[in-house]
Amino acid sequence: MCGRYSLFAPREDLAARFELMDFEEIEWVERYNIAPSQNVLAIIRSSAGNKIGMLKWGLVPSWAKDPKIGYKMINARAETIDQKPSFKTLLKRRRCIIPSDGFYEWKKAGTQKIPFRFQLQSKEPFAFAGLWDRFEDNGATIHSCTIITTEANSVVKDVHDRMPVILTKEASEAWLDRSINDERYLKSLLVPFPAEEMETYSVSPLVNSPKNDVREIVNSL
């Protein structure tokens, strides 16, 4: 599962990393504790290049009867993404990447849950693999997304058995390429990120509440 992450890398770093042409048009602030149901930065590929915008975290499929379904669809499992009706069509035509620079998971220790942060050793921003969709009802439109998860690598598995799919730069290019619709190939991109390129450390319990969105959260304890 991926239920909380951060994105506070400098705007210019994000624009360079993801080859963004329109980032200056987006109102964006540093985030240290991004939670489901919130609007998050996401990138799709348009005819003009990579386009960034805001999507609600929690997928509301176009065919949904109730938009509240989004609360249950913050993640999609890579192993079954080509089988579930909610994701199968989107895998071919509505893929996105979601910029991040770290995510959080909680480890059980008796009656307590200790939060850990996971990031790249390089401290660089990276891309989660995602899917998006458009829901319309009575004139209201919701653009939403889900983050794809896979089995945990050796850095994450001591804390949790799942982790978000972090795409390499090459995999990000393929994931955004709208001309690619081979399900087998696309699924082959959804693998655990190399453990030797990641690191983890415990962080403040401030992260436990999404109401707390402060830099102190990412400090090592």
Kind of pairing between the strands at 75-77 and 112-120? unpaired
Q: Where are the beta strands (DSSP E) in the chain?
A: 5-7, 31-34, 39-46, 49-57, 75-77, 95-100, 102-109, 112-120, 126-137, 140-151, 162-164, 166-167, 198-202
2: closest CA among 111, 96, 75?
75
Rounded CA separation 89/148 (Å) = 15
Q: Position 24: which residue type?
A: E
Polymer length of the chain:
221
Choose the catalytic residue: 19, 24, 25, 105.
105
Catalytic (active site) residue 2: yes
Rounded CA separation 80/174 (Å) = 20
185: closest CA among 53, 110, 95?
95
Residues that are catalytic:
2, 105
